[in-house]
């Protein structure tokens, strides 16, 4: 597994970046998104459009009452009341022509509102400021121990870049940025992902910024919202499930890709609550990439759309505690009983948390998978698609009938599912196992093995005193798992960090040191008596899940 070096920028002039060119005329682009979406909706039968409007009004009114956010417009409820009132004036018994005219007016109002909300922006001056700010931010978070050891708070830019380790098909990604449009599809574990990925792409890999979807809830904070809306982010409101909103969102993605704007979206849809690598993907935006490629071919453009998987690796996830609780509460319902907080130790734990935050170091791994075209074929550095034998392919044939490029939504849905399956395959094959992942997985497997009759929720209800492992027992189990992982690495089924190849005791010590980073309740650690134990089984479960579904066993 070869690690990449820091690369010079593919396009040094920020003004020439596709994302800047797209949002330089934001108003025009938003208007184009609206018109594109409106026409797609109005192509349906008038009765169906009326039902779409009614359903949207019902769901939006319900959302506003049950789950309001600060980021919502102040006139939100009034807007939808007016839509419902205007829709009621035109019954389903109206003539199709009258219904069509009324529908168009309402659809236009709704879509214009949605497109204005969704479409983001990009400012060169804001990006330059963010570049400097993030350099300092990540130095504090991920380089504190190194810097403090040298008697200073901040290291230089090169030292920070050493903390973000990038592996995989980096040169292919850089090359494809100059040959076509790239859709980056990363795993998603933390709210820090977008910021961290953006920094890695700019400072380490040397490629232009992507436009990317950011949850509208993040815009509840006015300062965060101000910067995100000027750094290429478009807004995604996952509360909105109606077809009109989803069509507007896909229309924005489709047109941005057609314009040559590189896009990033998390195919899992949201952060992994369980800590597992994603297996079930949201294919809507991925489908818009397939459609955009077909439209480009229909228009006679040779520019290709490429899909590049990315796997992010952390020793810790800042939101792990809350994510694990959300997952277990949802899947276990009454079977899951959240652990009680020991209030008498709360202050001491907060102090320890703060010390760990500033006195330890950690690194992030970014693994770039082999790029794909939109129908699931692998592509090389030259951007040419290849069949299973490595022979070049012309993807135009995938979208053609009798020599002419045609629309076939069923066919394109199949291509979307195929490329989605390849992304999941890449997530697992290109996952880099860190020492913290392995010690957590090993400890939880040992805990389950000690209680074979208990289901997962029964195990989580156990007292943490139930887990007490000697170093000798842990080393023995770790050796069993290491052997399986080494076999998998040889068969190109997974990737291992350098630490996994260390002598077992040193590997365990490194994993234990990093796993508890930033958590007040240590998921796994070395006790004073020399045994290994946990202060929070739900956290241990979350981190163990990083290696779930790989078939490892004791």
Domain boundaries, the chain: 18-118, 124-314+355-429, 432-547
What is the structure's pLDDT at 334? 59
What is the structure's pLDDT at 490? 96
> 10 Å Cβ neighbour count for 223?
7
Using left for φ > 0, alpha for ψ between -120 and 50, and beta otherwise, residue 392 falls in beta
| Cα-based distances in Å from 295 to 289, 292, 303, 407 | 10, 5, 11, 8
What is the structure's pLDDT at 525? 93
Tokens representing residue 474 in the block: 């842990």
Rounded to an integer, what distance in angstroms lies between the CA atom of residue 139 and that of residue 199?
A: 12
206, 287 in Cβ contact below 8 A? no
Rounded to an integer, what distance in angstroms lies between the CA atom of residue 508 and that of residue 422?
A: 33
CATH architecture classification, 124-314+355-429: 3-Layer(aba) Sandwich (3.40)
What is the structure's pLDDT at 333? 63
Q: How far apart are the first and last CA of the chain?
A: 26
Regions of the chain with pLDDT less than 70:
1-2, 4, 91-93, 137-162, 333-362, 516-518
Rounded to an integer, what distance in angstroms lies between the CA atom of residue 123 and that of residue 130?
A: 11
Rounded to an integer, what distance in angstroms lies between the CA atom of residue 379 and that of residue 389?
A: 12
What is the structure's pLDDT at 330? 87
Nearest by Cα to 319 from 221, 218, 229:
218
Which residues touch 484 (CB under 8 Å, ≥6 apart)? Answer: 552, 553
- Match 């939006």 to its residue by tokens: 60
What is the structure's pLDDT at 56? 96
Rounded to an integer, what distance in angstroms lies between the CA atom of residue 510 and that of residue 528?
A: 17
Cα 507 to the chain's mean position, in Å?
29
Q: What angle do the packed helices 96-118 and 46-66 form, to 10 degrees?
A: 40
Q: Taking CA 384 as the corner, what is the angle to CA 378 and CA 390, rounded to the nearest 5 degrees? A: 55
Predicted model pTM: 0.90
Find the helix or strand (DSSP H, E) in which 372 lies.
strand 372-373
What is the structure's pLDDT at 3? 73
Rounded to an integer, what distance in angstroms lies between the CA atom of residue 468 and that of residue 447?
A: 9
Rounded to an integer, what distance in angstroms lies between the CA atom of residue 220 and that of residue 296?
A: 37
What is the structure's pLDDT at 355? 44
Rounded to an integer, what distance in angstroms lies between the CA atom of residue 270 and that of residue 326?
A: 13
Q: Quick one: DSSP state of residue 201?
A: I
Nearest by Cα to 485 from 448, 541, 539, 431:
431
**Beta bridge pairs of residue 233:** 212
Tokens representing residue 359 in the block: 């006195």
- Which pLDDT tens digit goes with each residue over 10-41? 999 999 999 999 999 999 999 999 999 999 99
What is the structure's pLDDT at 158? 54
14, 68 in Cβ contact below 8 A? no
């Amino acid at each position: 597994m070869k690690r990449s070096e820091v690369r010079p920028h593919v396009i040094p002039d920020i003004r020439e970046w596709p994302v800047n060119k797209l949002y330089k005329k934001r108003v025009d682009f938003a208007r184009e998104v609206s018109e594109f979406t409106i026409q797609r909706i109005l192509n349906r039968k008038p009765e169906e459009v009326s039902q779409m409007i009614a359903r949207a009004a019902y769901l939006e009114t319900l959302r506003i009452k049950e789950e309001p956010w600060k980021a919502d417009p102040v006139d939100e409820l009034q807007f939808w009341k007016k839509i419902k009132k205007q829709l009621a004036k035109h019954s389903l018994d109206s003539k199709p022509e009258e219904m069509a005219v009324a529908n168009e007016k309402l659809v236009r109002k709704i879509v214009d509102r949605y497109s204005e909300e969704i479409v983001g922006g990009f400012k060169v001056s804001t990006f330059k400021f963010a570049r400097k700010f993030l350099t300092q931010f990540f130095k504090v978070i991920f380089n504190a121990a190194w810097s403090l050891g040298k008697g200073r708070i901040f290291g230089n830019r090169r030292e920070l870049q050493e903390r973000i380790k990038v592996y995989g098909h980096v040169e292919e990604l850089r090359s494809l940025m100059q040959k076509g449009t790239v859709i980056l599809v990363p795993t998603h574990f933390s709210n820090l992902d977008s910021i961290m990925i953006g920094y890695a792409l700019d400072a380490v890999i040397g490629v232009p910024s992507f436009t990317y979807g950011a949850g509208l809830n993040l815009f509840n904070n006015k300062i965060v919202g101000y910067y995100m809306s000027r750094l290429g982010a478009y807004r995604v409101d996952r509360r909105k499930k109606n077809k009109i909103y989803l069509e507007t969102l896909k229309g924005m993605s489709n047109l941005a890709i057609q314009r040559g704007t590189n896009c990033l979206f998390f195919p899992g849809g949201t952060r992994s609550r369980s800590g597992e690598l994603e297996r079930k993907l949201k294919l809507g935006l991925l489908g818009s990439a397939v459609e955009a490629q077909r439209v480009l071919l229909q228009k006679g453009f040779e520019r290709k759309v490429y899909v590049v998987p990315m796997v992010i690796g952390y020793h810790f996830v800042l939101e792990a505690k809350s994510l694990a609780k959300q997952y277990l509460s949802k899947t276990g319902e009454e079977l899951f009983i959240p652990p009680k907080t020991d209030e008498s130790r709360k202050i001491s734990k907060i102090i320890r948390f703060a010390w760990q935050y500033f006195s330890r170091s950690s690194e992030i791994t970014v693994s770039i998978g082999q790029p794909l075209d939109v129908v699931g074929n692998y592509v090389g550095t030259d951007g040419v698609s290849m069949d299973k034998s490595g022979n070049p392919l012309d993807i135009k044939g995938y979208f053609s009938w009798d020599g002419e490029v045609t629309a076939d939504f069923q066919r394109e849905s199949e291509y979307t599912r195929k490329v989605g399956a390849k992304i999941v395959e890449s997530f697992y094959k290109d996952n880099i196992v860190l020492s913290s992942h392995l010690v957590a997985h090993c400890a939880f497997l040992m805990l389950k093995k000690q209680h074979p009759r208990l289901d997962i929720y029964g195990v989580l209800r156990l007292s943490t005193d139930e887990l007490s492992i000697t170093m000798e027992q842990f080393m023995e189990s770790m050796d069993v798992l290491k052997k399986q992982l080494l076999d998998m690495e040889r068969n190109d089924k997974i990737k291992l960090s350098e630490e996994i190849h260390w002598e077992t005791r040193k590997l365990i010590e490194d994993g234990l040191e990093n796993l508890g980073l930033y958590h007040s309740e240590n998921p796994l650690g070395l006790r004073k008596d020399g045994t290994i134990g946990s202060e929070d089984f739900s956290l241990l479960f979350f981190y163990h899940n990083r290696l779930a579904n790989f078939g490892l066993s004791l």
